[in-house]
Amino acid sequence: MLPPGLLRTAPLCGETTSSLICRIAGRYGLEATALRSCWKWRSHQPRHDGGGGRADAEVLLNTAGRQLLAGLCGVEEDVLARALPSWGREDARLPAADAGEPAAAWRTGGAVAGPVAFGCRLCTARRTGAAGRAVLYAPRWDRVCVRHGRWLLDADADQPHEYLDVRRLPEVVAAQRRWAGVVA
């Protein structure tokens, strides 16, 4: 395996830590489960009733775990703190006594920092140079990718689709543009 941090993987603004770990694994040519073995897990990955893993699953890390993640992605911790809403969040299953051992706990994203949606794959590819899925914290009123005309769907639903194509509905994209001016 390559030395940690050899391939820089920058986080997307509002990305879940779990999504970033999956994208880092992809950059190194690994399955996410292989990369996740670097942490000692204090809980099980959230699953849907049907048994499949939840796309909105989130990861909370202790101090050593955050340092490990920063090293693996080649990005400073302060940058990760600004980009990842769950960065620095505490969990009772991650006692401070484990500060020397990288540890992690699974949570459902909506319980950590708000609603979770799939990111636009085209925007992710444009930003990162690699096609792939990203999962982001996004309020429900800010789910339309105006660049690509996609209504981004909730990541907590057990469904096969990540977005709805609204390119033929210009009023939806126009409403999203107007809404951005209201909340700014």
The answer to whether residue 95 scores a pLDDT higher than 70 is no
pLDDT tens, residue by residue, 31-86: 999 999 999 998 888 887 877 888 889 999 999 999 999 999 999 999 999 999 99
List residues bridging with 62 in a β-sheet: none
Average pLDDT, the chain: 86
Structure-token pair, residue 13: 């603004």
Sheet holding 57-61, edge to edge: 40-41, 103-108, 57-61
- How far apart CA 39 and CA 56 sit, in angstroms, is 19
**Would you list the DSSP string of the chain?**
-PPTTSS--PPPTTB-HHHHHHHHHHHTT--HHHHHTTSEESSPPPB-TTSPBPTTEEEEE-HHHHHHHHHHHT--HHHHHHH-TTTT---TTS-GGGTTS-EEEEEEHHHHHS-EEEPPHHHHHHHHSS----EEE--GGG-EETTTTEEEPBTTS--S-SEEE-TT-HHHHHHHHHHHHHH-
- Contact (Cβ atoms closer than 8 angstroms) between residue 44 and residue 78: no
Where along the chain do its domains lie? 17-183
Q: What is the pLDDT of residue 2?
A: 44
Question: Considering the entire predicted model, what is its pTM?
Answer: 0.87
- How far apart CA 38 and CA 134 sit, in angstroms, is 21
pLDDT tens, residue by residue, 19-35: 999 999 998 899 999 99
Percent of the chain with pLDDT over 70: 91
The answer to whether residue 117 scores a pLDDT higher than 80 is yes
- Phi and psi at residue 145, to the nearest 5°: -80, 105
Q: What is the pLDDT of residue 48?
A: 79
